Structure 1
Amino acid sequence: MTTSRRQFLQFSLAAAALTACGTGMKATSGGGAPASKKHILVLGGTGFLGPAFVTAAQARGHTLTLFNRGKTRPELFPDVEKLHGDRDPLKGEGLKALEGRSFDAVLDTSGYYPRMVRASAELLAPHVGQYIFISSVSAYSKNDTPDADENAETATLADPTVETMGKNFENYGGLKRACEQATEKALGGRATVVRPGYIVGPEDRTDRYVYFPLRYDKGGEMLAPGSPEDPLQIIDVRDLAEWLVLLVERNTTGTFNAVGPEKPWTMGEMFAACKEVTGKDTKLTWVPGEFLLKNGEDGEGALPIWAPAFGAYAGMHRRSNARAVKAGLRFRSPVVTTRDALAWFQSLPEERRNQLRAGLPAEREAQLLSLWAQAQGNKQG
């Protein structure tokens, strides 16, 4: 299993700045009702996190402007100002639509390549009060240390000019880190860097988390990866979005791991949530991580979100979220997230429900369960 595959957290789906800028935070207003209404620019805004943020910000009375190519779900938010262009200043009109515009804050949900993030950050820096960049915990170079905080070692790029993720997304973490640096250089102390882990909940089109309650709901014997004690970190997209609005309202800057729940959670507790939500009593067969690795399952894709809880991945689902919690990040019950994610998926058209994008195919699950049973039989024999 390659580190890059494990690190790649698409749609963060979900989400680091220079270590020096991550030593603290600044807050200039309190909680409750917003001290003043903000005009917020969202770079993106129609994918997964973007719409959740727009909805949360509108509920708080803020004004939104979206900048994107107008290709992904353009029908969303008909009452919101939309500017069209390209993150790449060398393509089409590029960032021209943003020239001369001023905003109280910017939320960058669509930055993946430092050249493009640098272009938007430098253009907007003189005209915005705060720039929030959505990065990823993949910006860290290692996952082997439990409870590592925002000061942990970050990833680097062998070629700082690269503009491809790589065949196995090996460049993803380094690119996110370089984007953080571009943001910090342009905005200085007005930058906020948010590093989410796995962003889940309604509208998560990767199907990574919803696979588990869906499979549990089918009943029968189910392969449960690892052990009940294996740690699991997720964050509901709605919790992340609401917190991002709070960061804007308080003008909070710094670097934050946006991972949850607040207290450590486990695979066993996740399956307990599946049982509570579905009402089923599916038989779980726990298959150790060592056995799964030996048989070609590293948890990426076929066994989504789960990671081996040892060795190079001992800290994968054990990042510290203390700084984010101190800055106001709050979490709804994972049971609620599980319930709502499942309800959302079950509301989709039948054709889409029949095309699950993550999880073990039934044949592969049966094969692994058979192999595990044979291994156990051989031990007993």
Structure 2
Amino acid sequence: MRVLVIGGSAFLGRAFVTEALARGHEVTTFNRGQSYPDVPGTEAVHGDREVTADLERLVEGRQWDIVVDTSAYVPRVAGESARLLSGHASTYVFVSSVSAVRDFPAKPATDSSGLWDCEPDAGPEDGDYGVLKAGCERAVEQGFAGNVLIIQPGLILGPHENVARLPWWLTRISLGGRVLAPGDPSVAMQLIDARDIAIFSYDQAEKGVSDRFMVTGPQGNTTYGEWLELCRQVTGSDAEFVWVEDQFLVDHEVKVWIELPLWAPAGPDMDNFWKVSTSKAEAAGLRCRPVVETVRDTWEWLKEIPVSERVFGRKNVHGIAPEKEAAILADWSARESGG
């Protein structure tokens, strides 16, 4: 088959490219060529998806069986791509997010949940990430004449992660010493490997499926404590985890999700964040590898990158500053000792 991946050089897009090549498909990638090197073995077309002339140059004289779009965050941008690619491919795979589901995470996300209200021609100023992803879904469905496969992932990890959640934890834990561990180690998580999203999506797209699926790991496939312990094991570190209560971290102004990646204070929203229904996707064939495999493979990739160069993140640089971590640990020890 012939596959076009919009993006395709970083993290999830790269996983889609690698999986397509492993299946023997012919792969074209379309990106600006500015962030990461293109995967060898692809036809790399460089251009900006927000420039109509670049999209027209991409489609001229080309046909694909499957388009994979991992990089649309604004509805009118997603819609323009879908319209110009219509007639040049049979199936459009749009990677959305579980955040597009209305009332999530205030309520659990299920297969019957609706989407946030957002027009298909909305601009970046018309909502936050989840709301705009809902608009992107509508834009692709309205703009593409063919099969539309909507994938709504949960929390994604894996090799080449450029958000730096797992890479930051692996790096910090590998350095050893006393490590600030946030909240309750028994908090159940729901994680999925980017490679498993790609496998499931191609399995559906190759069959011409036109549908919407929530795609994430099984509920409780690890806990926060188990996850950090896996990081310690694969790095061979002597790190000592110091578990600090949520409120203490809030009082010390630790940025939720950012400074201690994947941590947020306990509460209804956080509880529901790890309660995404995957029954429909599982019935269609979704299978997720063990979390230990994701952690191990991410470390094997990451350890070849010098620590000084492990700065990732499109909008936020994840991870707490060493001096802030040390100060919180000192204050926590003083409190625990009655000082």
- Say yes or no: TM over 0.5: yes
Shift of 1:107: 0.5
Matches within 5 A, 1:76-225: 76-77=39-40, 79-90=41-52, 92-99=53-60, 101-140=62-101, 141-146=103-108, 148-157=109-118, 161-164=122-125, 171-187=128-144, 190-225=147-182
Aligned to 1:25: none
CA gap of 1:201–1:264, structure 2 versus 1, over 3 A, is closer
Shift of 1:238: 1.9
CA gap of 1:50–1:284, structure 2 versus 1, over 3 A, is same
CA offsets per residue over residues 297-340 of structure 1, 9 Å max, x none? 24321011223332332211221222222222222221121122
Kept after mapping to 1: 8 A contact 2:76/2:123: no
Aligned to 1:66: 29
CA offsets per residue over residues 81-111 of structure 1, 9 Å max, x none? 2334331244x53433214533211111121
CA offsets per residue over residues 267-326 of structure 1, 9 Å max, x none? 021123123323445322212223322332243210112233323322112212222222
CA gap of 1:85–1:272, structure 2 versus 1, over 3 A, is closer
* Alignment partners' CA distance in 2, 1:72 and 1:354: 13
In structure 1, stretches of 5+ residues that fail to align are 1-37
CA gap of 1:142–1:355, structure 2 versus 1, over 3 A, is closer
Aligned to 1:307: 264
Find the residue that maps to 1:315 and give its secondary structure: helix
In structure 2, stretches of 5+ residues that fail to align are none
| One-letter identity of the residue aligned with 1:103 | W
Deviating 4+ runs (over 6 angstroms): none
| One-letter identity of the residue aligned with 1:370 | A
Aligned to 2:326: 366
Find the residue that maps to 1:325 and give its secondary structure: helix
TM-score (norm 1): 0.78
Q: What is the root-mean-square deviation in Å for CA atoms of aligned residues? A: 2.8
CA gap of 1:89–1:279, structure 2 versus 1, over 3 A, is closer
Kept after mapping to 1: 8 A contact 2:93/2:151: yes
CA gap of 1:354–1:136, structure 2 versus 1, over 3 A, is closer
Find the residue that maps to 1:107 and give its secondary structure: strand
CA offsets per residue over residues 182-224 of structure 1, 9 Å max, x none? 1122347721111122322221133211222332233222211
* Alignment partners' CA distance in 1, 2:135 and 2:234: 41
* Alignment partners' CA distance in 2, 1:127 and 1:354: 37
Shift of 1:161: 3.4
TM-score (norm 2): 0.87
